[in-house]
Chains A and B, each alone.
Chain A
């Protein structure tokens, strides 16, 4: 086995998941100007729901998957509709704190549901792994890479290429003006949160059979998604590339320095982002993004 090709393959797989997560954060940020710290919970909710239903072995797996995606979408929209919308006048930090509290609440719910141990469910596609240049890619991984990047790439196309997508962006840039021009800003936000929820859930459905999920995976996922989105300057197309880079970078670190180095390295990437972002700050650090 060749560690380099293996690292590249798992890097691309993780990159596909991060791409789906960061694209969700970006589309929500673009329409509602909030970084949703509860975003990664859509991943852990969906993963936990499928795992729980699959373990019961009464319903077919595709029913479990549909239920999981629906649950994630409902949660994501509920954050917008019931937590954020009534408090849109609150300060930026207060809104971020609300999403963090929602994430913490979901940690509690999932802990009650699945306990402290990681859970998983059988792969959707089985079969022998593809062996390429000394690396192995399970069919499930290939499915993940293809679906992940296709869905992620669909978002920038949707935002710039369709009337509905342009309305979403208009709703973000100037909500009042957009409202006057007939764009339903509230509906645009619900749509954005809904898409984000669905993407987080699909990411979980595809990845959890390979790496399993526990009750606080969500926050890790939010952080990875945020890092990719922040590296990309909140641009959807760049977010996909940065996710791929993040996935590959993490895979290399894990391969050559061990799994324990994965979390510390995240902090160094964050430092890099902060330094990079700080170059624009001229006026005593009072500007907002």
Chain B
């Protein structure tokens, strides 16, 4: 066993035993029980807010809803386990539909919607006193007979079970998907992630943590009052996640322990507590991006390095040697047609508030062909790309990809056929290069195992000359490398169509050579490639055919050598550039 593991085990045991000693003032068995239960709920909020980036302000409401349901049913004499099942079911249904309504709208709607849900729950709990006990609360008798030490064990087991479920669930492809959504929803959709569905699911899972925690807490405390589900308690949960370190595994536990302990030692009822609490929250939002868990993680890594010595080779390297044939199989997958027309754009128009951005643009691109769209700034090239990838609806005309009519498909559904890069690379900065590329494979090669996908990503990265940085976090790469990684991500898994938005901008001469070989590679694999580019020499070298847009109108199309020599094109394009 590594020395660091032994230290970790000692720390965990010390943490569990601590409430039985009087070493930390105020840290009693009772407080620790409450902390564990609140932390269990905060794990759910950490998943929603810390990992996925959804601002939800109703976590406490999802804690009291099951408690009230079970308590009321229990009082009616319905068998306990039936009412528990019913209470949890009601909560999950409420969470499911609240999520479905609000998560697809801009962030503020979820924030205010969940805030409103808190008001709703609090108001209903207060408004039907004959069922809910009104303002004085609902009493839960069943937990009274259980001793404090026993409750402590229950809470601890529930927390550990919750942490175990969390860590089994939020890893690999799911973790990468959530981080991508957190960082950039549009890029996530273009990669093929069903953003709305995924966020809905995360919201539901998060609420489930709250439901279980809230139910246990109500029976432990023996009372639920309307304020327990209100805005202040939900904001408290958010503060716990913020202070603990959003997105960190131990964040919810650290944040809850520290905040609740502070509440106790400062005296909850003292008039300055709310001020201190507000100041701590504000400071955490403004200055504490990684919270307590961020500091602890840094310190822990340092300690690990000293105790265990430098880390040995990364495990993924062995995976690469184990599974290279997968990529080859992927290239020859039978489900994609690889001859004839790949992209057919017919009569596409786009109007923005009366301005015609695209005027009946039409062209087609064959499989295994590199095609280019050129034109001065504002010619409508990016709009055209956005229409093909589904980001903007066209005002008229239609788009077919690999024989499929994609007009009715969402961005993420189209992404099955389309890989796309962006003018300014939209990578997830806190994931490594391999992870960024794998996100794409997670979506289009879901039949592969995790290790096969990582291996394929590694292989693709290596074939584009980026093997050296494969395990580097993206935020540490140069601008040119960003660009190449974005390209790799667009090309991985051999989508039928690859759209590249100004791929050559900002590349060094060496990187430009890389890019050329990459494009040829894509061509031999049978993908259709469409490039929007300003570097005319580069375009003339790689693309055989193309189209020239000016002010939204196609002014020339055909072989690149011919259209770039055309007089009107030179005037429109080079005139505008000078």
CA distance A26 to B371 in the complex (A): 45
Q: Is B278 an interface residue (CB 8 A)?
A: yes
Q: Mark A16-33, 1 if CB is under 8 A from B, else 0.
A: 000000000000000000
Contact present for B196 and A266 (CB under 8 Å): no
Main secondary structure of the interface of A (DSSP, over half): helix
CB contacts (< 8 Å) of A258 on chain B: these are 127
Contact present for B278 and A267 (CB under 8 Å): no
A82 nearest in chain B by CB position: B286
Contact present for B195 and A286 (CB under 8 Å): yes
Considering the complex, which residues of chain B in the window 112-165 have a beta carbon less than 8 Å from any beta carbon of chain A? 112-113, 115-117, 119-120, 122-124, 126-127
Minimum CB–CB distance for B242 against chain A, Å: 8
CA distance A109 to B279 in the complex (A): 9
Task: Give the contacting residue for A97; candidates B55, B124, B275; CB below 8 A.
Answer: B55
Minimum CB–CB distance for A126 against chain B, Å: 33
CB contacts (< 8 Å) of A262 on chain B: these are 123
Contact present for A285 and B104 (CB under 8 Å): yes
Task: Give the contacting residue for B106; candidates A102, A104, A266, A289; CB below 8 A.
Answer: A289
Contact present for B107 and A96 (CB under 8 Å): yes
Q: Mark A221-241, 1 if CB is under 8 A from B, else 0.
A: 001001100100000000000
B123 nearest in chain A by CB position: A263
Contact present for A109 and B278 (CB under 8 Å): yes
Q: Is B109 an interface residue (CB 8 A)?
A: yes
Contacts A96-B107, A278-B104 given; does A115 touch B119 at CB 8 Å = no
Q: Mark A74-95, 1 if CB is under 8 A from B, else 0.
A: 0000000001000100011110
CB contacts (< 8 Å) of B105 on chain A: these are 274, 277-278, 281, 285, 289
Q: Is A256 an interface residue (CB 8 A)?
A: no
Contact present for A271 and B101 (CB under 8 Å): yes
CB contacts (< 8 Å) of B276 on chain A: these are 108
Task: Give the contacting residue for A93; candidates B107, B199, B410; CB below 8 A.
Answer: B107
Q: Interface residues of B, CB < 8 Å — how many?
A: 58
CB contacts (< 8 Å) of B54 on chain A: these are 93
Contact present for A281 and B235 (CB under 8 Å): no
Minimum CB–CB distance for B128 against chain A, Å: 9
CA distance A102 to B271 in the complex (A): 18
Q: Mark A101-113, 1 if CB is under 8 A from B, else 0.
A: 1101111110110
Contact present for B108 and A35 (CB under 8 Å): yes
CB contacts (< 8 Å) of B390 on chain A: these are 283
Contact present for A284 and B101 (CB under 8 Å): no
Contact present for B411 and A283 (CB under 8 Å): yes
Among B116, B122, B276, residue most surrounded by chain A Cβ atoms (within 10 Å): B116
Contacts A260-B123, A262-B123, A277-B109 given; does A286 touch B196 at CB 8 Å = yes
Contact present for A105 and B186 (CB under 8 Å): no
Contact present for B111 and A100 (CB under 8 Å): yes
CA distance A274 to B108 in the complex (A): 11
Q: Is B376 an interface residue (CB 8 A)?
A: no
Among A115, A261, A278, residue most surrounded by chain B Cβ atoms (within 10 Å): A278
Minimum CB–CB distance for B407 against chain A, Å: 11
Q: Is A98 an interface residue (CB 8 A)?
A: yes
B194 nearest in chain A by CB position: A284
Minimum CB–CB distance for B193 against chain A, Å: 9
Q: Mark B80-120, 1 if CB is under 8 A from A, else 0.
A: 00000000000000000000011111111101110111011
Task: Give the contacting residue for A282; candidates B107, B112, B194, B393; CB below 8 A.
Answer: B393
Contacts A102-B282, A108-B274, A267-B116 given; does A274 touch B101 at CB 8 Å = yes
Contacts A98-B285, A266-B119, A285-B196 given; does A261 touch B274 at CB 8 Å = no
Q: Is A275 an interface residue (CB 8 A)?
A: yes
Contact present for B127 and A264 (CB under 8 Å): yes
A220 nearest in chain B by CB position: B119
Contact present for B189 and A223 (CB under 8 Å): no
CA distance A184 to B197 in the complex (A): 41
CB contacts (< 8 Å) of B106 on chain A: these are 92, 288-289
Contact present for A112 and B122 (CB under 8 Å): no
Contact present for B109 and A274 (CB under 8 Å): yes
Minimum CB–CB distance for A16 against chain B, Å: 22
Considering the complex, which residues of chain B in the window 15-73 have a beta carbon less than 8 Å from any beta carbon of chain A? 53-55, 57
CB contacts (< 8 Å) of B441 on chain A: these are none
Minimum CB–CB distance for A259 against chain B, Å: 9
B199 nearest in chain A by CB position: A285
CB contacts (< 8 Å) of B115 on chain A: these are 219, 223
CB contacts (< 8 Å) of B55 on chain A: these are 93, 96-97, 100
CB contacts (< 8 Å) of B120 on chain A: these are 263-264, 266-268
Q: Is B474 an interface residue (CB 8 A)?
A: no
Considering the complex, which residues of chain B in the window 401-415 have a beta carbon less than 8 Å from any beta carbon of chain A? 410-413
A104 nearest in chain B by CB position: B278
Q: Is A159 an interface residue (CB 8 A)?
A: no
Minimum CB–CB distance for A281 against chain B, Å: 6
Among A97, A219, A230, A275, residue most surrounded by chain B Cβ atoms (within 10 Å): A97
Among B103, B111, B285, residue most surrounded by chain A Cβ atoms (within 10 Å): B285
Contact present for A105 and B278 (CB under 8 Å): yes
B411 nearest in chain A by CB position: A283
A116 nearest in chain B by CB position: B271
Q: Is B391 an interface residue (CB 8 A)?
A: yes
Contact present for A108 and B122 (CB under 8 Å): no
CA distance A111 to B112 in the complex (A): 23
Q: Is A37 an interface residue (CB 8 A)?
A: yes
A272 nearest in chain B by CB position: B101
A29 nearest in chain B by CB position: B108
Contacts A108-B276, A115-B271 given; does A285 touch B112 at CB 8 Å = no
Q: Is A189 an interface residue (CB 8 A)?
A: no
Contact present for A104 and B235 (CB under 8 Å): yes
Q: Is B281 an interface residue (CB 8 A)?
A: yes
CB contacts (< 8 Å) of A112 on chain B: these are 271-272, 274-275
Considering the complex, which residues of chain B in the window 358-412 have a beta carbon less than 8 Å from any beta carbon of chain A? 390-391, 393, 410-412
A-B contact pairs, 20 of them (CB 8 A): A94-B285, A100-B55, A104-B281, A105-B281, A108-B278, A219-B115, A223-B112, A223-B115, A227-B112, A260-B127, A262-B123, A263-B120, A263-B122, A271-B101, A274-B102, A275-B101, A278-B104, A284-B413, A285-B199, A286-B412
Q: A112-B272, A268-B120 are in contact. List 7 more A-B contacts (CB 8 A).
A: A93-B111, A106-B278, A108-B275, A111-B274, A115-B271, A261-B123, A284-B195
* CB-based closest 4 A-B pairs: A285-B104, A285-B196, A108-B278, A108-B275
